Structures are given as C-alpha cells and as structure tokens.
Chains A and B, each alone.
Chain A
C-alpha cells in the first residue's frame, strides 16, 4: 500500500514514466523554441525598442520645439526692435522733409511777394506815364479848341509852353 501510494500504481512503470516525461518535456521545449518562441520574443523586443525609440524621439521633439519657441521669441524681439527703429527713422525723415517743405514754401512766398511788388511798381509807373501823356494831349486839345476862337496863335503857343513846363515840374516830382 505504501509503495503503491508513493510510486503511483506500480513500481514497474517508474522508469518508463521518468523516461517518457523527460523526453516529452524536452520535445515540448524544443518545439516551442522552434515554432513559437523566436517570433514572440522578437516581437516583444521589437516593441520594446519601438517604445524606447518613440519616447526618445518624443523627448527630442520636445527639446526641438522648446528651442524653436525660444528662437521665435528672440526673433520676435529683434523684429519689434527693428520695427521701432524703422518707425523712428521714418518719423525723423518725415519731420525733416516737412521742415524743408515749409522753408521752401516760405522762400517761394517771399519771392512771389517781391515779384508782385515789383510788377505793381512798374505798372504804376507805366500808368502814371500814360496818364501824363493823355492829360497833356487832352489839355492841348481842349486849349486849342477854346483858343481857336479867342486867342491868337502867339498866346496859344505861350499857353502850351507853360503847360508843358508845368508838366515837366510834375514829372520831376
């Protein structure tokens, strides 16, 4: 009974069972190794590598993104400074231009005014001269018309001469 309990049903099968179990275990081990283990562990390794690679690349991307953001910030700051300097420069130029235009306009105006005054003076002189001539002619005509009847030619001549003299005085004024 004791013997049978420990060593299964009978002692005669002990060796064969040991042999059979050992061999079948070995065969199972080899079969698993040949047909299933390779692909499975390869796949697991591959996934491990892929995950590690993904994590690495994600980290790299993060660093890149941070660098890029920093670069952008610097560039933005530079651009802002540049824009400010451009605006300031433009303002300066504009002010200078405006000043120049005003000065020129003032000069132009002064010149125009002088010209106008000159013109006015010349015109006045010309008008005055015309008027003198007209008055002389008129007075001669009037005088001759009156004197044709009442004065002699000698008187006439005298009057004309005095008028002309008077005009000459006026002329000297």
Chain B
C-alpha cells in the first residue's frame, strides 16, 4: 500500500501538494473553529463558548500538570495550538479519501499521516523546549541542568536523547494516524470489490472510523502532554 502525492514546483522547490493543501485546511479549520467560538464572549458562558472553554481548560490541565502554576500562561497558547492542530489534522483524514486514478495520486489525507509533517511538529516542539530552557535559565545553567545532571559522563546519551525525542514524538503520531488511514483505505477497497463485501465492509468501516477518531484524540492529547513534559524537563531546575 503506497500513497503517491500530487507534486508541484515553485521557485525550484518541489512541494507536496496534498500535504500543503491539507495543512492549510487544518489551519483554517482550527482558526475558524476558535474564531467562531470566541465571538460574543460572555461572563456567563453559553453554547459554543462553553465548548471552546472546555477545550482551553483541558489543555490548561495538561500544561498545569507539568509546569509550575505561575508559568501556565506562558505555555498555554502554544500547547493549545499544538493540541488543536494535531487533533484537527488527525480527524480531517478520516472524512474521506480522494484518489486520482489511474496514477494513484492521493489528494486527501491527514497531514499527520505524513512522517515529514509529524517530525517537523516534533522538531518544533523540541526546539521550543530547548529555547524555553535557555530563556529561563541562561545558556550555562541550562546546559548543566539538561546535559550534565545527574552525572557528567551521561552527556553523549543526553545529546542523543534530544534526537530520539524528536523521532519518538513524531513517529508515534505518524504511525498511529497513517496506520489508521491505511486500514480505512483497505476496508474501503474491500467494500468496493463486490456488493456482498460492501455490506460486510460497511460496519467495519464505521467501527474503524470511530476508533480512528478516538485514536486521533488520544494522540493529540499525548502530543500536547509530551510537549509539556519535554518543556518542563528543560525549564525546571532539577535538584540533586
């Protein structure tokens, strides 16, 4: 099972059109949702405002579990954006599949079903964690705290850990979402092969979509949590 993307070139750079489109769509959906839900804010919340506040509070809980209380505000928006971006992009790919025959070009998928995207997100997360660490502690103290504790000779392992963090954070997300989509396409392919199998495949597809939706939510939650865990590791001074 291999998915080909629609490619185009601008100024010598070749872009993956599917990922680009879906990323833009994800951003628009996230922004539209948040924008729509934060109009006419009232002290006594109603309807859509409740939904958005529940989401914000949920992310606030994730952030609050990992950093000190007075620092929550600093990371809240970042965690919220990551959470919403991952959640929406995970969910978008479940809606449908658009494939261009006969070249087998896939026009619709979750941006997070592409490893480059998830690794980029993970990379941003790790960079930010390091950035916040330096910002809060200063370069020297940050270096000592992050790489020389509890003992100095762990330095190489600690350095490698930074890269493995990027890989685990990114590939976990990619694996979950990509696998979900692959299975969805397989079931869809099965259903398309004959009328009898269509009836058989329909409930399977429904179940798997529900499960993928659930997985998408869980992965967004895990991504936001790990982001905050990494940040808190860098930000907080470990006492030995």
Contact = CB atoms under 8 A, between A and B. Distances in A.
A14 B119 CA distance: 10
Q: Main SS of chain B's interface residues? A: helix
Interface stretch (A40-48, A79-87, A164-172): A40-48
A33 B27 CA distance: 13
B52 A16 contact: no
**Majority-rule SS of A interface residues:** helix
A47 B38 CA distance: 15
A20 B15 contact: yes
Interface residues of B, number: 44
Interface range for A: 35 or more
A33 to B, nearest CB: 6
B86 to A, nearest CB: 10
B108 interface: no
A20 B23 contact: yes
A33 B77 contact: yes
A31 interface: yes
Nearest to B44: A47
B43 A16 contact: no
Contacts of B111: 21
B135 interface: no
B52 A40 contact: yes
B43 A32 contact: no
Nearest to A5: B2
A72 to B, nearest CB: 36
Contact of A47 (B31, B35, B43, B85): B43
B20 to A, nearest CB: 6
A9 B31 contact: no
Interface stretch (A22-30, A59-67, A118-126, A150-158): A22-30
Given A6-B115, A36-B38, A17 B27 contact: no
A49 B43 CA distance: 11
B116 A18 contact: yes
Nearest to A21: B120
Interface of A: 4-10, 12-22, 24-25, 27-29, 31-33, 35-37, 39-41, 43-44, 46-47, 50
29 contacts: A8-B5, A8-B16, A9-B2, A9-B7, A9-B16, A13-B19, A13-B116, A14-B116, A16-B13, A17-B16, A19-B13, A21-B19, A25-B85, A25-B120, A28-B27, A28-B30, A28-B81, A31-B27, A32-B34, A32-B80, A35-B35, A36-B31, A36-B38, A40-B53, A41-B56, A44-B53, A46-B43, A47-B43, A50-B43
